[in-house]
Amino acid sequence: MTNDDAKPRLEGPSFWISVSRLPKNGMPIVFEARADEREALARRLDIPAVEALQADVNVEAWRSEGVRIVGTYRAEVVQSCVVTLDPVRQTIEEEVDLIFVPEQSRLARPSSPVDGELHLDPEGEDIPETYSGDRLDFGEVLSELVALALDPYPRASGIDFQDFDTDPEPEAGKVSPFAKLESLKRGS
C-alpha cells in the first residue's frame, strides 16, 4: 500500500491526508465514497458494482514520523457467481489498524538477518506500509483493503459442487479411449 504522488493515479476513491499537519490527538475521519468513485473502483476490481464504501477512522501520529490509522470500514459489493454468473452481494465490515512510515524510514525494512536467514513471525506485527512525500491517500488504502477482502470464489446461495468429482471412478461397462487404443495396438 504505497502512496506516491509521482505514480499514475489508479481508479477509485481518493482522500489525501497531510501527514505533517496531523493534530497531536489525531484526526477523526468519516469517509463515504461518491457514486463516481465507487463505479471507478468497481471497474478497477473488475466486479459489477461497489454499492457502498464508508469508513470511520482516527488518523494519528505514530512514533516520530509514522502514521497510524485505527477504526472500521464497510463496503457493499456485487460480484458474479463463479458457477452461474448471477450477481452475489457481499457486505464487508472490518476493523482497521494500519501503520505507515516514510519510505526512507528504517522501520520500513525488516531487521537484517544475523545468520543469513530472514526470520518472520507469522503471528507477529506486520512491517509498516510506506508512503512518500508528505501525503497519504486514504482512499487508495481503502481500495486495497476492499480488494483484499473480496471473496475469491463468490457463489450464489444454494449453488455447490456436489456433482463435481476430481477423481472419478470409471463407470462399469464403459471402455476408456486409452483401452481402445491399447487393443488396436495389440491387433497390429
The DSSP code sequence of 95-110 is EEEEEEEETT-GGGSP
Backbone angles phi, psi at 25, to 5 degrees: -90, 10
Q: Which residue has the higher pLDDT, 173 or 131?
A: 131
pLDDT at 27 over 90: yes
Three cell numbers, residue 145: 483493503
Q: Give the containing element (helix H, strand E) for 37.
A: helix 35-45
Checking if the pLDDT of 165 tops 80, the result is: no
Instruction: Please give the average per-residue pLDDT across 115-135, as a whole number.
Output: 77
Query: Taking every pair of C-alpha atoms in the chain, what is the biggest distance, in angstroms?
Result: 89
Residue 6 has pLDDT above 60, yes or no: no
* pLDDT for residue 41: 96
Of the candidates 131, 121, 115, the one whose C-alpha atom is nearest the C-alpha of residue 20 is 131
Q: Residue 79: which of 143, 161, 151, 148 has the closest Cα?
A: 151
Query: Once rounded to an integer, what is the mean pLDDT over residues 21-31?
Result: 92
> What pLDDT does residue 173 have?
65
Q: What is the pLDDT of residue 46?
A: 96
Position 108 scores a pLDDT of 66
